[in-house]
Copies of this chain bind each other. A is one copy, B any other.
Amino acid sequence: MNYLGGSRENIRTDLAIEAREMLMGEVKEEIPGVLATTEVIDEITVTRVEVTTPEAEKKMGKKQGCYITLEAPGLRQKNTPLQEKVAQQFTRELQKMVELQDDTTVLVVGLGNWNVTPDALGPRVVKDLLVTRHIMKLEPQTLGEGFRPVAAIAPGVLGITGVETGEIVQGLVEKVKPDLLIAVDALAARSLNRLHTTIQLADTGIHPGSGVGNKRLGITYDTLGIPVIAVGVPTVVDAVTIASDLMDHLLLALIREASPDSPVRAVAQSLAEGDKRAVMEEVITPTGGNLMVTPKDIDTLTEDISRLIAGGLNAALHPAVESDGTGKYLH
């Protein structure tokens, strides 16, 4: 539908699953070069989207590679057993995505800004990680068997450091020399009901412009020379996305209402292009457009999903944690 196409540039999503949905639109046609499978495991919907060609990459606005999404709407309700199941599934998916040797050194980078709740996911995950690299170097005997060397950092964002996050990470990788980097970041979604209930893993790293904050330098195999797994959870929808969605739905309703040869249809379609932008500028942009839509209880929701991901990472990276299952190693 051409006005949907027209509005797509206003819509931002960091989720491959949503990019695909938007492209497929109502026609439900597969996109050439994009493979997708979905299965439901327990109450979790696991979708694997693979972008396999340069053309698909361009269309989707997502780098070639594999994107796995875990969706569990029940996470919005405080539900401990479901949280555990999702953490375990996350652990399994991560372990399938990378091959960990016994001595693989992993650096986890929590992207984002501590002091801005919707952007704090990365730093909060880092806070709950079981960091072992220094212990394994200095006094390995205190840990025992079943651990890999894990380091972690939350480097802050450009606006508070004055340095590109990608540069900070490069400097760190040169010193720590990890075999694998895992970058955790808050994402923007298109759909409100995915907030805090969806986790995306991608083997493509972090590219400029993704995540809630701004990045200009990628955190990828190309910039670092090691594999980079991106782990993300949507915590906001851009106000512009909601606005655009609302207007599309309204125009659709208008068109449905009108008879096929009514001039309403033509007007509605002609409107779509220029006027939508004008309306948004009137309503949303006076404040600088730096607006987000988010649940009122975002503080609690972010805390919960951060712990879930930290737990899942701890189990994925440390066999002793995975087999123990008691959370004994948390903190």
Partner of A263, one of B192, B195, B262, B287: B262
Partner of A172, one of B79, B114, B168, B294: B168
Q: Are A293 and B295 in contact (CB under 8 A)?
A: no
Bound Cα distance from A167 to B173, whole angstroms: 10
Contacts of A286 in B (CB 8 A): 191-193
Q: Are A134 and B118 in contact (CB under 8 A)?
A: no
A71 at interface by CB-CB < 8 Å: no
Partner of A163, one of B135, B151, B270: B151
Within 8 A of B (CB), among A272-331: 275-276, 278-280, 282-284, 286-288, 290-300, 304, 326-331
Contacts of A270 in B (CB 8 A): 257
Q: Are B283 and A245 in contact (CB under 8 A)?
A: yes
A268 at interface by CB-CB < 8 Å: yes
Contacts of A258 in B (CB 8 A): 263, 267
Contacts of A283 in B (CB 8 A): 192, 242, 245-246, 249
A122 at interface by CB-CB < 8 Å: no
Q: Are B291 and A292 in contact (CB under 8 A)?
A: no
A180 at interface by CB-CB < 8 Å: no
Copies of this chain, whole number: 4
Contacts of A276 in B (CB 8 A): 250
Bound Cα distance from A147 to B173, whole angstroms: 31
Bound Cα distance from A24 to B68, whole angstroms: 52
Q: A170-B175, A175-B170 are in contact. Are A328 and B79 (CB under 8 A)?
A: yes
A76 at interface by CB-CB < 8 Å: yes
A158 at interface by CB-CB < 8 Å: yes
Contacts of A79 in B (CB 8 A): 328
Partner of A299, one of B115, B175, B242: B115
Q: Are B293 and A271 in contact (CB under 8 A)?
A: no
Bound Cα distance from A266 to B99, whole angstroms: 63
Q: Are A284 and B242 in contact (CB under 8 A)?
A: yes
Chain B residue nearest in CB terms to A161: B153
Q: Are B297 and A275 in contact (CB under 8 A)?
A: no
Bound Cα distance from A287 to B271, whole angstroms: 29
Pull 15 A–B residue pairs with CB atoms less than 8 Å apart, ordered by A: A76-B288, A78-B331, A149-B162, A151-B163, A153-B161, A168-B172, A171-B174, A191-B286, A192-B283, A192-B284, A242-B284, A254-B271, A291-B293, A291-B294, A292-B293
